[in-house]
Structures are given as structure tokens and as C-alpha cells.
Amino acid sequence: QVQLVESGGGLVQPGGSLRLSCAASGSIFSINDMGWYRQAPGKQRELVATITSGGSINYPETVKGRFTISRDNAKKTVSLQMNSLKPEDTAVYYCNAYVRVVPNMRVNVYWGQGTQVTVSS
């Protein structure tokens, strides 16, 4: 069984910074892509950032230049450094990971429970 747990959410003023972390644990053989997504009330979940096992990174234009995704393969963690936060960044942030549980089997997608990020004056 694989679990992903996010941490680091909270309340921050516009222009402030916040760092989110996500730790994967359980029966993990290897982790391929990892990413961060967010969902605001009344909206669909949207991509925030992804990072492949090889280090290739993708951001949407909404966060490019402000957010930075990184991963620590030894610790099985993925982090999201968020700078210059805006009120529209307010959402529940979820991490995910494509995990190979058993060698030679296909990867499965796992999601964390989410952490609330609120950007407000």
C-alpha cells in the first residue's frame, strides 16, 4: 500500500511565500513522475507542476516563474516552493506520484489527501 502525505499549507499574504512537501511511503519499488495539483471551490483540479524521474519539469503559465518543483529520490519526496503568491492561488493542493509497486508491473497513480493554501490579506 502506498501513501502520500502533504504538509506545509497555511495562510499567507499576497506576495508571500510557502513551501509544500509531500512524502511517499509504503510498498514502493520505484517512482516515475511526480506532481502537484490544486483544486479551488467550484473548480476542477488543475495541474500546478510536474517533474519526471529524469528531472524534466513542466509548469502552466499561471505559475511559471513563481513556483518551483523539486524532488528528492532518496527520501521519496516532492516539494513545491511557491513565491509571489496571489489570491487566485488559494486552493487545496494535492501531490501525486506514479509508483511502481512491483518490478516489471505497470505504474499506478497515487494521490495525497491535500493541504489547504489560502492567500489573503
68: its cell numbers: 518551483
Please enumerate, as own/partner, the contacts of 41-50 that have beta carbons within 8 Å and a separation of 24 or more. 43/91, 45/94, 48/80, 48/93, 49/80
5: its cell numbers: 502525505
Mean pLDDT of the chain: 97
Residue range 44-62: mean pLDDT, rounded: 97
pLDDT tens digits for range 83-115: 999 999 999 999 999 999 999 988 999 999 999
Q: Three-state SS for 21?
A: strand
Q: Residue 1 has what pLDDT?
A: 87
pLDDT tens digits for range 2-18: 999 999 999 999 999 99
